[in-house]
Structures are given as C-alpha cells and as structure tokens.
Chains A and B, each alone.
Chain A
Amino acid sequence: MEENKFKVTIDGIETEVAPGTTILQAARQIGPEVAPPAMCYYKPLEKSGGKCRACLVKVAQGSAKDTRAMPKLMASCITQVQDGMVVENYTNEEVVETRKGIVEFLLLNHPLDCPVCDQAGECSLQDFAFKHGTEAQRFEEERRTYEREDIGDKIQLHMNRCILCYRCVHTADQITDGRCHGVMYRGDHAEISTYISKAVDNDFSGNMIDVCPVGALTDKTFRFKNRVWFSKPVDAHRDCDKCSGKVHLWYKGDEVIRVTGRKNQWGEVDEFICNTCRFDKKETADWVIEGPAKMQRHSVLSANKYRKDAIKPEYALKHAAQNYKQIDDSRPYNKSLEEVKESEDYKALMDKNKEFKLLNK
C-alpha cells in the first residue's frame, strides 16, 4: 500500500496519491484552495484537457529522484505526478501572471455582454476571469463574430462565445454515436460547426450543453426563461431506461424550467443524462424529488444560499508565510510549516476555526 503511493506537495501542502494521478486531481484531493482552474479538462471525458492552459502550474521539483524544476509551466490536468514532486500553483508569481494572460486570451474574442448571456451565473469563464483575471482590458481590436446556429431543434450554438475547449466534441465522440459536429478551420478562425449544417440528432446530444463551460451551447427550451440565480436547483431522479435518470430540476416557482445533469464540486457532470429526461420531462410528477441540490462552489449560485467551504488554516498560514517572507521578523509566518503548527497563533486560529465550525453546524 505505502509503496504504490506517490507523495506530492502542492502549494506547501503534502498529499499522497496513486501513481498515474494528474497534478490537477491531486490538487483537487487537497481541496479547492489549491486546485488549479480548468476550462477544458472534464474528468468524465477521455482525452479532454491540455488545451486552454488555464491550469498551468510550476513544477518546482520534478520528483524525489530528479529534483530539477521543469523549465516550462506544465498543464496540470494532463501531467502526472511523480513521487516527491513539488508543485507551485497560487504561491508562484509566474503562474499567477501567466494565468492573468490566459484569462485575457480567452476573453479576447469573447463578447463581454454577460448581462444578456444565458450562461451568466453558471459560466466557468466568468468565474475564471473573476478569480484570476485583471480588470484592465488591453484588446482594442474587433472581435470575431458569427451567426447563431441551431444544432437540431433543442440546442443553439452561439459561436461568438465558444472558447474552443473541445469538450462538446469529446462528448459527441464518446457518448453519442455518429458525431457530425466538430471543429472546422484553424486558429482564431476555427469554429464549432455541424457537418454541412446537419442537425445533431441523438439521444445524448443534450449533454453538450452541460459540458460547455460558456454560453456557446445552450438549451433552446430554456433560453431566456430566467436568470439562473433566480431559479432553484433540486436533486431528483426517475426510472429511465436510457440513462441514470439522476438530474437537477431547476424551478421557477412551481414550474420546472430546465433539467440538467448533476454537476459536482468541480462543475463536472459525472453521470450524463438522455434527451428524454432533459427535454421531455418537465413536470414535477415525472420525478422523485430528493431535496435541494448542493451547489458547492459554483459561482453566484451558491452565494448567500450555501455555506462556502472554510479555507483550511494550514493553507492560509502557509500562504501568508510565503507571501510575507520578506518582512523577516520573528513572528510565525516566516517559519516552516512544522514550526508554524507549534506556534501559539496557529493554535489560537485552530480554536477559532473549531468555534466557527460549531457555529455553522
């Protein structure tokens, strides 16, 4: 058991993972405070990742055997950990700077009209830009624009918003048969399109809507019915002969206005659902209601409704220690993690945290 675990340190926090685990998965195992953002990687989809470069991290030590740093930033979603690897994410200046650049690149051709976008509020790009971007905008050129395109009668493609993450292509490849949409052309003129305007007609095509991180693929049966933050997600299921039947129902008052797959903490749908569940079952009577959906992290949906995960004090202190090193006095934040743990300040903080957790029970 011990032998086939790899030790990896991410932003000063150590964890053990099975060989073959990626840096991103190892970081998620530690928790959201060290997990890199991911705009193209989508765990349930094979071969996803490596494209958006949002998850770039610094590998400060390749492994226990080869202690050299890797010269380039690495895409954490596709880079496997080695035993003894040391990774810097939020604690590395270069990573933070580069990520600002990635936000800027992804927004370059993306319309900044969130107020009229249906994805607003559950958009990964919005979250990503909010958390990692800068306010200033340096792009003065014209954005590329496309006509809206219907992909079948239930899905609309608004290519202007697409960030070419390829998730929908992998979805169509892996969970529907006879993919007839994909990426055409190259470079910043590349676009998602259907093969000579052929409609995507498939029992599972609706999942492309769920995997799309932005408002490029949207549910035509829901479009502009409501702002997502005014709707209430509920966990529900039904007996379905095509899929797991496990969904979120989105309510406006008593009305089910939308059905989606259940997204996990990382915004990924673990169990894809069929189009019957998604588009045809919009009565409460169609479903067994389980209770309010847990919106763990996802954007404004969780704001004021659900408790935010408390930041681990260990991480907060380590972060402070790294960032305030230069002050160089005797207070605990320029000590090693072990020393920090021994300090009075840390113990006090831990007590506070206990109180906090009790209060929030």
Chain B
Amino acid sequence: MAESIKILTGNFDVPGIEQLDVYRKNGGYAGLEKALKQMSPDEIVEEVKKSGVRGRGGAGFPMGMKWGFLAKPEGVPRYLVCNGDESEPGTFKDHYLMMKSPHLLIEGMIISSFALGANTSFIYVRGELMYVINILEKAIAEAKAAGLLGKNILGTGYDLELVVQPGGGAYICGEETALLESLEGKRGNPRNKPPFPAVKGLYQCPTVVNNVESISTTPWIVLNGGEEYAKVGIGRSTGTKLISASGHVKNPGVYEIELGLPVEEFIYSDQYLGGIRDGHGLKAVVAGGSSVPILPKDLILKTAAGEPRLMSYESLSDGGFASGTMLGSGGFIAMDETTCIVRNTWNFSRFYRHESCGQCSPCREGTGWMEKVLYRIEHGKGNERDIDLLVDVAKKIEGNTICPLGDAAAWPVASAIRHFRDEFEWHVKNPEAATKKGAVYQPELSLA
C-alpha cells in the first residue's frame, strides 16, 4: 500500500498542534464551523451513519447506528460521554491522541454533542493520566475563551459545557456502564443491561458513550462527508484505525493505518513495525488488546483458508475463535520465540483477576481460579488435569457474566491452550526444565 491516508493524525507532527491557534491554522475547527452553521443535527447523524465508522473502543459497533438508538424524550437532558479510560494492556492510542492533539477530540466532542442534542458532555480519562487531563483542561479553557465552548458557540445559539473527569483507577471503569456509575461518583460496577445507556444512562438519562478515537473521526466526516470516509478502508471496515503496536518489533508505537492493510505488511514493512527485532522471529500475536484470542504466527499472517490476513474487523475474525481473533481496540502485541506463552497467559490472567469488579460469581471466582492454576503451571507445580480444567473454567465464565470482562478474561486463556497446548503440556511434564530462568518451550525439543 502506498502512502496511506491520515484522517486523524495528519497534523500530529506540526509543532504546537496542541495549541488552539496552531490547530486552527492547520484546518482545525473547520469541521465544527460547518457542522454548526450549515448542518442540522440529523444531517450530521446521517453523515456518520453513511461513513460506516465503527466504535474504536473494542466492540466495533457502528457509531451512527448507536447514535440512532438514543432515546429523545421531551424535557429530559441527553449526555455524550467520551470513554478515555483506556486501560487494556497493549492499548495506548487514545492516550497518544489526547496528548498530541487535544483539540481534535474537543472539536469532535462539540460536533457529536450538537448532533445528539447534548448540552453537557464528559470526557472520562484514565485517572493515572493526570498530565493528559491537564492538557485537555488547558485546551478546553482555550476553546472556551475563543467562544468554541460554553454559551452560544460561534454565535449559533448552541450551548455546551465540556467536563473532564479523572477516572476511578480501574480497568473496569472503561466498561461503559461502570464508567457511568463512576462518573456519578459511585463504585465502578457495571450495570445489568437492559436498560441500555441509550435509554437510561448517566443519571438515568439517555446517554451515548463513545471512544476517544471514534469521536475524533467526526470533524473529518463532517468536512468531507460520510461517503468519502466510507471509501477509505475495506468492506464494512471503513476508515482508518489507530493501532498501538508493542512487543518484540523494531518500531513500536501508535500507527494510523487504513483498514485492510495486510498484517504481514504491517509487521514487516519499514513504513510500519519494521519487522521483528534483530536475530529473532515472530511466534505469536495478540492483535486487539490483551482480551482478544492470541494467534500463532501462521494464523495471524494467513487465515485458516490460506488467505492473507488483513487488519480489518472481518478478516481478523475470519475463522471464528477456532482460527481467528478480533480487531478489538487495536492493541497489537507481537511476541518472538523467546516468549513463554504459559508465562504470558499467567500474566494476562493476573491482570484480569486483579481487575474483575467482583460482582458476579463466574468472573470473580473464575478469574482468581484461573490465575492460581496458571501460577502453579508456570511455577512447575501443575498437572495434566489442570490444562483441561482451565479450558472448562474459561468456558463456564464465558457468556455467563454481567459485563464482557468475564469473556475478556476467558478468551486469552482458552486461546492460548487452543493454539499452544503442547507448550502447557511441556510445562506440566517437565517442571524442572520449564522453571529454569528464561526457559521457553522449543517444539523440536519436545520430541526428544
């Protein structure tokens, strides 16, 4: 693929882009002008629908459709809440976006709030990122002083207050209903659904929750039209996506890619990750943040049917969970052959055990159980029964919980055993060798 289109990050490298005047000189707030002065809220919703842009927070739900579901009872306020909690291991693109170009998000928030008829909107930012919160608040103050926020924005009569809320310091606060609870000042426990936020969200009022990256696409969509946006990307994966790349690659970082880019090109071309670090080879990839199923090299580069795997919602999930995975939030973690899959799985499960809110029994108890069993296996105290036990526990969690964190905890374990079972077996059969510092299972050795 040639030099690819930059919808979000095009001007990120302009020095001072976090300042209002620089942002404006580089085309910033033109989308807002157009939206407020030339378009009706419904027309904006229509353009977002046409764009086909899907939620970038993980679930990939079409944003226009979500906006269409928003209930609009008379006399009841509506809210837009931006989800900037970003705590999934391997995902750090929203952090980057807010830090680099706060006005892009703010412009997106004003346009989206106008489209949804919200007069108070919130940006909920991961609590650990105080400096990002400061950047956002400074930018909001600038925008307010320039008449872009507050009363009578740009003289159009539209009012909007934008509030930045530091997060509660838990991964679960990124789940949209836990986020709303937390925003209301309560413990961040996910709510049972229905009712969905579109009907009863923040303070029991109709609410839309969208990811930072999702909302930041709206200035471009408004300026260029939904149809133009839909021309970018592939099939139902329209537009571009920010990918947070980490692990054993030469050039880790945040990349804006056009959806449909072949995974192989993304990993090996110099324009992107530049390949695996010198002297090593790719072993496995977690393509969409720690929750999504891990895939071995063969299956991440090509689908089970032998087609090249593409960076798109459809291609990555091709083959279901048997041989596919998910685009998720775009946290792309590449691992070379020095990685012990058992140790990595244990590490992930430690995270989920720690982050489960503890409301529902399958997730609360199941995440702890899986972590304890994986700890034993990793530390040479496992037995063969444990491997099937893990599969069964994961199965009993999946689908039976209040929120998807239960699934997110089950999938990495189930998929690691699905694709790397011999590595787990080697651990339980050769505890001594497996617990040596830095020991990693080598397929050739297992035959001996």
Residues of A within 8 A of B (CB): 49-54, 56, 71-73, 75, 78, 98, 101-102, 104-106, 108-109, 138-139, 141-142, 163-164, 166, 182-183, 185-190
Which B residues from 375 to 404 make CB contacts under 8 A with A? Answer: 376, 389, 396, 399-402
B358 near A108 with CB under 8 A, answer: no
User: Across the interface, do B400 and A51 meet the contact criterion of CB distance under 8 Å?
Assistant: no
Let me know if B367 is at the binding interface, CB within 8 A: yes
- Closest chain B CB from A153 CB (angstroms): 28
- Is A138 touching B389 in the complex (CB atoms < 8 A)? yes
- In the complex, whether B250 has a CB less than 8 A from a CB of chain A is no
State A169–B448 Cα separation when bound (angstroms): 58
Which A residues are in CB contact (< 8 Å) with B365?
A: 105-106, 108-109, 188
A-B contact pairs, 26 of them (CB 8 A): A50-B192, A51-B361, A53-B360, A53-B400, A72-B400, A98-B400, A105-B361, A105-B364, A106-B361, A138-B389, A139-B369, A141-B369, A142-B372, A164-B359, A164-B364, A166-B359, A183-B358, A186-B172, A187-B353, A187-B355, A187-B364, A187-B368, A188-B367, A188-B368, A190-B358, A190-B364
* Residues of chain B within 8 A of A189, CB atoms compared: 358
Interface residues of B (CB under 8 A from A): 170, 172, 187, 192, 353-362, 364-369, 372-373, 376, 389, 396, 399-402
- Taking CB as reference atom, which chain A residue is nearest B399? A72
Additional 14 contacts, C-beta under 8 A, given A51-B359, A141-B369: A51-B360, A52-B361, A53-B361, A53-B401, A98-B400, A105-B364, A106-B361, A108-B368, A139-B369, A163-B361, A186-B170, A186-B355, A187-B367, A190-B364
- Which of A73, A108, A188 interacts with B400 by CB under 8 Å? A73
Residue of B nearest to A166 (CB): B359
Closest 7 CB pairs between A and B? Answer: A190-B358, A188-B368, A101-B396, A187-B356, A105-B365, A50-B192, A141-B372
Q: Is the CB of B369 within 8 A of A78?
A: no
CB nearest neighbor in B for A165 = B361
Measured between beta carbons, the chain B residues less than 8 angstroms from A182 are 187
Smallest Cβ-Cβ distance to A50: which chain B residue: B192
A140 to chain B, nearest CB (A): 8
Chain A residues with CB below 8 A from B369, complex form: 105, 108, 139, 141
B396 close to A187 (CB less than 8 A)? no
Complex: A182 Cα to B186 Cα, angstroms: 12
In the bound complex, residues from chain B placing their C-beta under 8 Å from that of A73 are 399-400
CA distance A183 to B189 in the complex (A): 11
- Contact, CB under 8 Å: B373 / A141: yes
Residue of A nearest to B396 (CB): A101
Q: Which residue of A lies closest to B170 (CB)?
A: A186
Which residues of B have CB within 8 Å of A75? Answer: 192
B355 proximity list for chain A (CB < 8 A) = 186-187
Q: Give the Cβ gap from A187 to chain B, nearest Cβ, in Å.
A: 4
B362 engages A53 (CB within 8 Å): yes
Complex-state Cα separation, A163 to B362, whole angstroms: 12
Contact partner of B402 among A51, A101, A163, A187, CB < 8 A? Answer: A51
Alpha-carbon distance between A14 and B373 when the two chains are bound, in angstroms? 45
Distance between A130 CB and nearest chain B CB, rounded to angstroms: 17
Closest to B171 in A: A186
Query: A258 to nearest B CB, angstroms?
Result: 29
Closest to A52 in B: B361
Distance, CA A51 to CA B189, complexed state (A): 11
